[in-house]
Amino acid sequence: MGTSASATSQAAPFSPTHQADHQGNGMAEHRRLLQSVNIRNSKTKSIITNKVAPVVITNNCREEFQIHDKIQSANYLRGRISDLLPEHYLVLGEFFMVQDVYNRADVLNTTKSHGAPNFRKVKGNYPLFGMGQPSLSGFKQVLQRLQIDGFEEVIFICVREEPVVFFRSSGDFIPYTPRRKENLHENLHDLDRELSTEQIELSIRKELCDFAKLSENMFSVYNDIEHFKDEPQHVHILSEEDIHVTEEVYKRPLFSHPSHRYYRLPLPMEGAPLEETFDAFVNILRETPNLSVTRDGSSPPPALLFSCQVGVGRTNLGLILGALVFHHLQGASKSPRQKIQGEHKLDFQVIQLLISCLPKGQQVLDEVDDAIAICSEMHNIKDAVYESKLKLEGIGEDYQIQGSSTKGYFLQRTLQSLERYVYLLVFNAYLHDQYSQAFSQSFSQWMCMNAWIYRLLSSMDSSELSAPANLLTNGIRVLVSSEFLSTDLLSTAKEMKVANFRRVSKMALYGMAQPNSEALAVVMSYLTDTRRGHSTVLWLNLQEELVLEANGQMFTPREPGCLEQPIPVCVQHPQQLQEMELALKQDILSCEKWLEVITEQDKQMRMFKSCHTIQELFVHQKSIHPGLSYQRIPLSDCCAPAEQVFDRLLEAMKSSLAEDPGCAFIFNCHDGKDRTTAAMVIGTLTLWHINGFPDCEDDEIVSVPDAKYTKGEFEAVMQVVRFLPDGHRMKREVDVALDVVSETMTPMHYHLREIIISTYRQIKMAKSEADAQWLRLRSLQYLERYIYLILFNSYLHLEKKDSWRRPFSQWMYQVAARSGIYAILNHLGFSEFENPDESPMSRLRFRWLPHTVQSIPMRGELI
């Protein structure tokens, strides 16, 4: 009787990357072949080799096996931690297996008594428990203890995102995790977003079994990564039954407890969970009748048990989520919260704004602070934010480029801790709205319906925490001249004294770069002369960065390593910019040393005798031209304007036209290009709706390759067009406005619609992955801006009957959001060419944050 025996199971999802020759000879090779199919030497009579596969004949000659052994050709890599330690096979091509939990991690000393490190119950009456990683026997002990304590239903939630496998040892299964040679103390994160953690664990087990077959049923692991005494250790592996994956450890004991359930909810080590993680947690609540507000009360709520590696950071986050759930389940307290002695108040602008905008904002905050307080035995999220900020403030001014210094590191840590706290506030607001409705909307859907939260959270950036303006005089930042930043592509500086001055044909609508006092005087004389005769002028400055005139020349402060990128300034009102510019002015004038400046020609050292803010320049001009009005409406470069920016631009133009229908409008940014052009298109559409539209051709003829994309006919755009009433007309009118404004700047070769595809095509030619991701972000921002212009035009049509009394921002949140517009924007990408999910920038949460080249996450990576 002949039988085929395979030495390998199905191929692992991970593909090893390096090849090793595992050829043997003679009896050693025969022994390895027997081990590969678990045949003992005592049963073997002989092995017959052939070209297909070796044949094993047993002693009694009753059985014959043909061994199809594929392990010898596998591309497995070997390596060692140091020259003093032996070489062995590496998991997934590069990782060492290290014992998961070290003894000192059990601060509460509960492993022996309870079965898991740092096992604890939260303060109060909520059935909430947390712990570190137990072994298989330890987990059974934990369940037994909860059963003794009277908990009939237990929901166990593992919040680890890293792979864990368990090796058989002395009647138990002990957890081990793969680690990098460079940092054996740190777990792996974001290994492969296309595979679940469970799939990765199965791949690791498959490899471990192969390695054991190639190494006399042994594999090398590490228990002591501090001193490496008696390392590596060797574990005995005969089959997959000697290795458990996480799911097996946690699910198998549940067969003895049918009312218990197990979930894996990967939480991040730092920062806030993603929306889909909150969704997964909500799904757990949906699947648990005894956590529903409609439960009959005859059965007690289940115990929630959270576990990560040592039971501290991620477990603490899970416990807080659970505490918020029980708070809503058992009813909110009506009495005002009493502050706990020693509790830190987080005085951040983003928190204050969020609480002021959320329904029951103060109650939402108090409930989160209560939840944090009862879960704080091992870790306190508020303390983590407070302490990180203290460390940040106490570090010397070595901040150069974010992420490259000690201060950059603590800046990032502070922002991550703050983000985690803020998202707890947001999730609690979601529970207030949705718990009583049995979660009719997922957290992701709810966030898209309340996209103003994303817009508000985009202010949670480094500007609130980073260096103050006086760092300019400490040499940390430099002054960069307007000439360096704005190339005069339209050749207007000679006549108008300002770069890129232009006018929209047949309209009193102008654009330019940032003028100094001389250029401002020239432009005002030009607009008010007898030929043009504008008695009233509204000047709209779009710059969000700090700008000053010093010795008659315009300057803006920049980071030395990022001269092309403005420093983000977190302000909620333009008046704050004026106050910051006044402070910077005083800093410059009081400085008694030479300052470094970057001009069009070179780097220089200067001492300034005169300095003026932009506001002061316009106050002076208004004394000469009383019809001049000035407003600062900050707009981010290359991005879709925020909804409130559309509100301010429209209101400013409406008010001016109500006083004088012949009012002239001037827009400027630092170079008169990107932001100025966007605002001019908004102004053009506004004037057309008030004064009447020109004749629009039905179809634009474009004779270039992929003309549909040059015309802006991307799938995301056309989906929005299908949603909007008379959507094709809305798009066509915007296209005409873009063409009209583009005609004023032909030498720039700049068109707000055509730049979308031209920027995207540059990705293939990028010199580095960082450059490619920067271009991908820019192309997405350009695409989003184009969509916003179409939405704004639709708003102008639909709300015209009420004279636009409802602002565009309210219309977006009250009308467009419910039509699914933000759901499209939250999955934005070029689906014609790639999967949008592969880039985090497809999401509102990440795309709306301020970015520099250094801050862009790599493709497939999340912030």
Residue 376 sits in the same domain as residue 504: no
Name the pLDDT band for 832 (thresholds 50, 70, 90): very high
Residue 535 sits in the same domain as residue 391: no
End-to-end CA distance of the chain: 60
At residue 27, does pLDDT exceed 70?
no
User: Please, what is the average pLDDT of the chain?
Assistant: 86
On whether residue 810 sits in a domain, the answer given is yes
CATH of the domain at 435: 3.90.190.10
Instruction: Of 265, 300, 258, 95, give the one whose Cα is nearest residue 181.
Output: 95
User: How many domains does the chain contain in total?
Assistant: 3
Residue 711 sits in the same domain as residue 795: yes
Q: How many residues does the chain have?
A: 863
Q: What's the pLDDT score for residue 759? A: 94
Under 8 Å between Cβ of 456 and 357: yes
Residue 432 sits in the same domain as residue 501: no
Under 8 Å between Cβ of 373 and 424: no
At residue 834, does pLDDT exceed 80?
yes
Residue 709 sits in the same domain as residue 741: yes
Is the Cα dihedral 624, 630, 632, 637 positive or negative?
negative
Instruction: Indicate the pTM of the whole model.
Output: 0.88
Q: Model confidence over 513-525: pLDDT tens digits?
A: 999 999 999 999 9
Residue 488 sits in the same domain as residue 628: yes
**Max alpha carbon distance in the chain (Å)?**
117
Residue 450 CA to residue 666 CA, distance in Å, equals 34
On whether residue 837 sits in a domain, the answer given is yes
At residue 729, does pLDDT exceed 90?
yes
Residue 683 CA to residue 399 CA, distance in Å, equals 40
Least confident of 192-201, 514-523, 693-702, 782-791: 693-702
Residue 356 CA to residue 362 CA, distance in Å, equals 8
On whether residue 29 sits in a domain, the answer given is no
Average pLDDT (254-282) is 93
At residue 468, does pLDDT exceed 60?
no
Q: What's the pLDDT score for residue 159? A: 97
Residue 380 sits in the same domain as residue 483: no
Residue written as token pair 């045949």: 39
On whether residue 481 sits in a domain, the answer given is yes
The range of the structural domain enclosing residue 728 comes to: 465-848
On whether residue 32 sits in a domain, the answer given is no
Find the angle CA(606)-CA(612)-CA(615) to the nearest 5 degrees: 150
Q: Model confidence over 549-579: pLDDT tens digits?
A: 999 999 998 877 777 776 767 666 888 889 9
Residue 427 sits in the same domain as residue 486: no
Find the angle CA(489)-CA(492)-CA(495) to the nearest 5 degrees: 160
